[in-house]
Amino acid sequence: MSTLSIIFALAAAFLLFIGSAMLLSPDMFSFRIGAVFLGGFETAGPYAFLLGAALYAFTAYGLWTRRNWARRTSIAIVAWGIFTAVPSASAAATEFKPLPLLLAGLPIIVRVVVIFYLMQPPVTDVRNG
């Protein structure tokens, strides 16, 4: 789970940087830059970026210290990412556009693999909180 905690920490650092930059200069970045991590909440503004950074950092800490609540939280975050990615994949499949379908489907596949990993017995047997 340490690799996953590093990924969550990097996401937190990214959201913190973007959210802080948006507070200082609102037109510096587009809200869409955080769509991958915030799943629709990026339109709430820079405070959503900072709140997302706090959530990702807290989850990264929990994963690093092998807390069961952090595993469940990361499953929820990743599942929300699947839920928000389905419409674009569905539209690409309906129109049968191979490249957009690949670009929309690949993140779903990666997220499913992450959830599969987090549900494995060696990972779920960690009973540290």
> Distance between CA 17 and CA 11 in Å, rounded?
10
Nearest by Cα to 86 from 73, 97, 101: 101
Question: Which residues, including other chains, have CB under 8 Å from residue 117's CB and lie 6 or more apart?
Answer: 4, 123
For the segment 60-94, what is each residue's pLDDT rounded down to a tens digit? 999 999 888 999 999 999 999 899 888 888 888 88
Residue spans of the chain under pLDDT 70: 1, 126-129
